[in-house]
Structure 1
Amino acid sequence: MENKKKIVVHSNDIAYAEFDEFEMREMKLLLSLIATVTDDKPYFYDAKEMKRIVGMESQAYSKFAKLITNLQKQVLKINLEDDKYKTYNIFSVLSFDPKNKTIEIEYNSKFIPFILNFNKNFSKYYLENVEGLNNKYAIILYLRARANIFKYQFKLSVEEIQKKYGNNYKASDIDKRILVPALTEINKFTDINITVEKEYLASGRGRSKVVGYVFKISKKKKDLEENIYKAMNIANKNRFILNSKTINKESINLLLQEYSEEELVVGLKYAYKKINANFKTLTYLKKVINSGLEEKENKKNDIDLVEDEEIVSADLVEVMKDRVVADDEQTSDIVEYTSEEEERLVNYILENDGITYDFLQNMKCKSKSVYINTLRAAENRMKER
């Protein structure tokens, strides 16, 4: 199984689950397996590759078989409201064939909804980020951070850390035993950085008591790959797309929260071929991209894409690398909406445009002009009805 560009997608309930009984390698193996799930069906894996992913290349297959057995016995504790929870068996079948060196897996039907067929409240990240972590708490905190990536922070109380993650460590040991080693790994090996601030309970005498932690999340800046730049330039050769000013570094980074690089390249090239009318919003572009990906999936072959060299010039590539449309250039005629009007328009978009609330909020944070244009387009469509 090639893991470098495998994408892990799961419900945020998993990010908030309790993994206190899991070993680090059990967590890595579970997430590696989830990264391959596309349907509710049996799966078979090469045990040698899975050993590599969990860092057991040099160890005997008998030890790996024990890891498989232990993971098969694990249950996942999903937290509900009011301190309630449910536990789920993950697998109905998880077995290792020592003769053929293969793993067979079938997921429990009750667990399937946490890893398939959801369109909101989910986490999505490259498997390679988890593969680089060798600290159990680093994996736990990374999952929690990915679930809150659009909020840019999350909080944990000392009590929660002690109960769910810390083996009842003393508050004074949380920094040394959990946070420092975990955050060091996350900041070194993953696509995000996390800083932490302590929350104190003021007391009348002596030192203030630490009662919790605020984890601030930031994404590491990453240069766009060359194929993304080429796809941007292809799309902007379409005059309707170019006039919309919806494709620039800012919007591409937004779209990369929803699509893999490969998906976005296909979608942008499809948009170049299909868009033949004026539009103003990133929401519309996203709908066209989705149509392209659906068409590609349905036909089970590549879309007949234009050749890059026929439509892309080298100087345009350089222009696009430096092109970021400033908010003050786009917002001179922005319409301000009341909170009630904004809520009404947002609900309309969520119901009709197939995008998530998190995507809209990230758009609002990153580019107010694009966000307002999206609301304005929704308002116009509502008036036409």
Structure 2
Amino acid sequence: MNNEVVKYHNDINKISFGNFKEKELDLFFSICFKLKEQGTDQIMLNFSELKDLIGENKNPKRLKTYIDNLNKKLAMINHQIEIEKNVFERFVLFTNIRTDFNKKILIVKVNEQFSYTLNNLIATYTKFDLMEFVSLKSSYSKNTFKLLKQWESKRNRTFKIEEFKELLGIPESYKMSVIDSRVIKPIITELPQYFKNLKLEKIKTGRKISHLKFTWEKDIKKIKDVQKIELEIMETLNNIIEQARKNRFLSQILTDKNIYKLTEMYEENQLKKGLKYIYKIVKKEVPSFAYLLRIIETGIEEQEIEIKIKDNKKEFINQGQNKIEKNFLEEEDPIYAMFLEATEEEKEPVIKKAKERYIKEIGVEELTGMYVKFFEKSKRSIIIKILKGE
């Protein structure tokens, strides 16, 4: 098993898996791994594949028990989301779980309302290596592992003691001394191999322990060169993206790749306007990315017309700001500054190559109409990449 990365929306970390045993947790997150970016399509898993993922090859009969127990527990798990302000909806995670012990297959389908947790993930997600997760022996270690992975960038996480108990399924009857021996001990024993210099601080309020604070350090050795571009998006924009994806006609077209294209084409404020517009206006399937662009462009133009009516100075201010930003960027990047000083003949093959790369990236046949404007916005960054040999 090499680099099987589990990736899901942080909302899954709000669900308590405290009643799941070790192998049941391995199975659940193995299924999440297989369902990642699969939409709501039904997926079939062979028992042999599951055995490899959870490392259970010694006793095939045990797998049947694990799957049977998992099915029962999955049927009891549900999730709540806020669809509008103060309007909540609760639903089961999977609409269909079918186990065929004759053919040795497991068939799973994600609830459409729950699919956002496993599909089109841009930000606010948890990511970890399935092999590392499976290698842990304690269910308390496994549950803490995934919770801490959510905070990998900050490398600290403080839990209220009641929250910690609920998320890990710690019995209410456990006193702190029992929690230390049965819960904390395996966590502190197992997790430091994946969280460098992991430390646990018990914070008291009065005489009682009220919070548990985990801290760890960045492990340079484990940093990998991830080929897929991970976007760092402002929280407000990400919230708008997540909202737009709740429109069922947009969920399939707003993939990671297409969102990246949109962030290259539009400035953040424009993209916010466009996404808000399509969320409200789209009432049928969007056949292509080009069609999506036309709707977004219409939304941006309509809202910008309203802004211009309210403030006729806005265009002048924006032009001035764009000029300042352009000069600043040219000063900050000597490679691009040198390119600007070149002759038109020297620039021509580079610009041609930049256009070809841009056409290929956005998936159109030629650079016409609105795509010319989009190219001009992205031209500088593409040229710099070409000059750097990227």
TM, length-normalised to structure 2: 0.53
Instruction: Report the secondary structure of 1:176's partner residue.
Output: helix
- Cα–Cα, structure 1 residues 294 and 111, in superposed 2: closer, same or farther, change >3 Å? closer
1:181 to 183, 186, 190: 186
2:119 to 116, 126, 129: 116
Question: Which position in structure 1 is the counterpart of 2:43?
Answer: 43
Equivalent pairs counted in the alignment come to: 244
Question: Which position in structure 1 is the counterpart of 2:171?
Answer: 167
2:65 counterpart of 1:63: yes
Q: Distance in 2 between matches of 1:73 and 1:378?
A: 58
Question: Which position in structure 1 is the counterpart of 2:244?
Answer: none
Letter in 1 for 2:145: Y
Shift of 1:383: 8.6
Q: Distance in 2 between matches of 1:141 and 1:173?
A: 17
1:12 to 10, 13, 23: 10
Q: Is the 8 A contact 2:38 2:119 kept in 1?
A: yes
String of CA shifts for 1:112-157, please: whole Å, max 9, x gaps: 1111123221112222121111211112111111111222211112
Q: Distance in 2 between matches of 1:377 and 1:170?
A: 62
Structure with the bigger percentage of helix: 2
Question: Which position in structure 2 is the counterpart of 1:150?
Answer: 153
String of CA shifts for 1:153-188, please: whole Å, max 9, x gaps: 111122223344311121232221111112321223
Q: Distance in 1 between matches of 2:81 and 2:199?
A: 25
Instruction: Report the secondary structure of 1:8's partner residue.
Output: strand
Q: Is the 8 A contact 1:7 1:35 kept in 2?
A: yes
Q: Is the 8 A contact 1:157 1:212 kept in 2?
A: yes
Q: Which has the larger radius of gyration?
A: 2
Q: Distance in 1 between matches of 2:322 and 2:23?
A: 48
- Cα–Cα, structure 1 residues 106 and 155, in superposed 2: closer, same or farther, change >3 Å? same
- Cα–Cα, structure 1 residues 4 and 382, in superposed 2: closer, same or farther, change >3 Å? same
2:103 counterpart of 1:100: yes
Within-5 A mapping of 1:203-214: 208-214=207-213
String of CA shifts for 1:56-79, please: whole Å, max 9, x gaps: 321415424423432442414458
Q: Is the 8 A contact 1:18 1:78 kept in 2?
A: no
Within-5 A mapping of 1:77-96: 77=79, 87-96=90-99
Q: Distance in 2 between matches of 1:353 and 1:118?
A: 17
Instruction: Report the secondary structure of 2:12's partner residue.
Output: helix
Letter in 1 for 2:42: P
Shift of 1:87: 4.8
Query: Which structure 1 residue ranges, 5 or more long, are not aligned?
Result: 203-207, 224-252, 268-281, 284-292, 299-347, 355-375
Q: State the 4+ residue runs in structure 1 displaced beyond 6 angstroms.
A: 376-379, 382-385
- Cα–Cα, structure 1 residues 86 and 200, in superposed 2: closer, same or farther, change >3 Å? farther
1:75 to 74, 77, 82: 77
Letter in 1 for 2:177: S
Identity of aligned residues (%): 17
Q: Distance in 2 between matches of 1:32 and 1:110?
A: 20
Q: Is the 8 A contact 1:9 1:122 kept in 2?
A: yes
Query: Which structure 2 residue ranges, 5 or more long, are not aligned?
Result: 234-255, 273-320, 330-376, 378-390
Q: Distance in 2 between matches of 1:157 and 1:79?
A: 22
Question: Which position in structure 1 is the counterpart of 2:27?
Answer: 29
- Cα–Cα, structure 1 residues 62 and 144, in superposed 2: closer, same or farther, change >3 Å? closer
TM, length-normalised to structure 1: 0.54
Shift of 1:107: 0.8
